[in-house]
Structure 1
Amino acid sequence: MAGTIKKALAKNALIIAPQWIGDAVMTEPLLRRLAARGERLTVAALPWIAPVYRAMPGVAEVIEMPFKHGGLQLKGRWKLARQLRGRFEAAYVCPNSLKSALIPWLAGIPRRMGYTGEMRFGLLTDRLDNPQLEERPPMVEWYAALSLMGQTYAEPELPMKLTGDLRPVLKMPPQLMDQALEELSRIPSLPVLARNSYVVFAPGAEYGPAKRWPAKHFAELAIKIDRPVLVLGSAKEHDIAEEITRIANAQQPGHCHNLAGNTNLVQAFALIANAHRVVSNDSGLMHVAAAFGVPQVAVYGSSSPEHTPPLNDRARVVWLRVDPNYQPPLACAPCYERTCPLGHMRCLEDVSAERVYKLL
Structure 2
Amino acid sequence: MGDVAMTVPVLVALSKQYPTLKITLLTRKFFSPMFATLPNVSVYEADVKGRHKGVFGLWKLYKELRKLKIDAVADLHNVLRSKVLKKYFRYGGFPVVQIDKGRAEKKALTSSKSKEFKPLKSTHQRYVDVFQKLGFPIDLSQNMVLAKADLSDEIIKITGSDSKKWIGIAPFAAFEGKTYPLELMKEVIEKLNTTGKYKIFLFGGGSAQEEQLEVFNSNFENCLNMVGKLSFSDELGLISNLDIMLSMDSGNAHLAAMFGIPVITIWGVTHPYAGFFPFGQDINNALCADRVKFPLIPTSIYGNKMPEGYELAMNSILPEQVVQKIEHVLYSE
Task: Work out whether the TM-score is over 0.5.
Answer: yes
Residues of 2 paired with 1:209 and 1:75: CA distance?
A: 36
Identity among equivalent pairs (%): 20
Q: Classify 1:319/1:89 alpha carbon distance in 2 versus 1 (closer, same or farther; 3 Å).
A: same
- Residue 163 (structure 1) shift: 5.5
Q: Is 2:168 the counterpart of 1:204?
A: no
Kindly tell me the number of residue pairs found equivalent between the two proteins. 301
Correspondent of 1:142 among 107, 123, 126: 126
- Residue 59 (structure 1) shift: 4.2
In the TM superposition, what are the counterparts of 1:313-352 in structure 2 within 5 Å? 313=281, 316-321=285-290, 329-336=293-300, 337-338=303-304, 340-352=306-318
Q: Is 2:49 the counterpart of 1:82?
A: no
Q: Is 2:31 the counterpart of 1:49?
A: yes
Residues of 1 paired with 2:249 and 2:277: CA distance?
A: 8
Q: Is 2:5 the counterpart of 1:25?
A: yes
Match of residue 205 from structure 2:
234
Kept after mapping to 1: 8 A contact 2:263/2:281:
no
Letter in 2 for 1:302: V
Residues of 2 paired with 1:198 and 1:115: CA distance?
A: 37
Residues of 2 paired with 1:241 and 1:352: CA distance?
A: 25
Q: Classify 1:191/1:28 alpha carbon distance in 2 versus 1 (closer, same or farther; 3 Å).
A: closer
Letter in 1 for 2:23: L
Provide Cα deviations, 1:113-136, integer angstroms capped at 9, x if missing partner: 11478xxxxxxxxxxx86532484
Structure 2 residue runs without a partner (length 5+): 110-119, 327-333
| Higher relative contact order structure (alpha carbons within 8 Å, sequence separation ≥ 6) | 2
Kept after mapping to 2: 8 A contact 1:195/1:276:
no
Provide Cα deviations, 1:150-204, integer angstroms capped at 9, x if missing partner: 1299xxxxxxxx86428752336x5xx44xx322344xxx341568642111112
Correspondent of 2:186 among 205, 219, 230: 219
Letter in 1 for 2:296: C
Letter in 2 for 1:79: K
What's the secondary structure of 1:213's corresponding residue?
A: coil
Letter in 2 for 1:145: D
Kept after mapping to 2: 8 A contact 1:218/1:244:
no
Letter in 2 for 1:90: A
Match of residue 153 from structure 2:
182
Match of residue 212 from structure 2:
243
Residues of 1 paired with 2:237 and 2:262: CA distance?
A: 15
Kept after mapping to 2: 8 A contact 1:82/1:106:
no
Residues of 1 paired with 2:14 and 2:259: CA distance?
A: 21
What's the secondary structure of 2:272's corresponding residue?
A: coil
- Residue 27 (structure 1) shift: 2.0
Match of residue 5 from structure 1:
none
In the TM superposition, what are the counterparts of 1:93-172 in structure 2 within 5 Å? 93-103=75-85, 105-106=87-88, 108=92, 110-115=94-99, 132-133=105-106, 134=108, 136-151=120-135, 164-165=140-141, 169-171=145-147
Residues of 2 paired with 1:285 and 1:106: CA distance?
A: 34
- Residue 214 (structure 1) shift: 1.3
In the TM superposition, what are the counterparts of 1:255-270 in structure 2 within 5 Å? 255-270=222-237
- Give the TM-score normalised by structure 2: 0.78
Match of residue 113 from structure 2:
none
Q: Which has the higher helix share?
A: 2
Match of residue 356 from structure 1:
322
Q: Classify 1:211/1:116 alpha carbon distance in 2 versus 1 (closer, same or farther; 3 Å).
A: closer
Structure 1 residue runs without a partner (length 5+): 1-20, 118-128, 154-161, 323-327
In the TM superposition, what are the counterparts of 1:62-77 in structure 2 within 5 Å? 62-68=43-49, 73-77=54-58
Q: Classify 1:302/1:261 alpha carbon distance in 2 versus 1 (closer, same or farther; 3 Å).
A: farther
Match of residue 126 from structure 1:
none
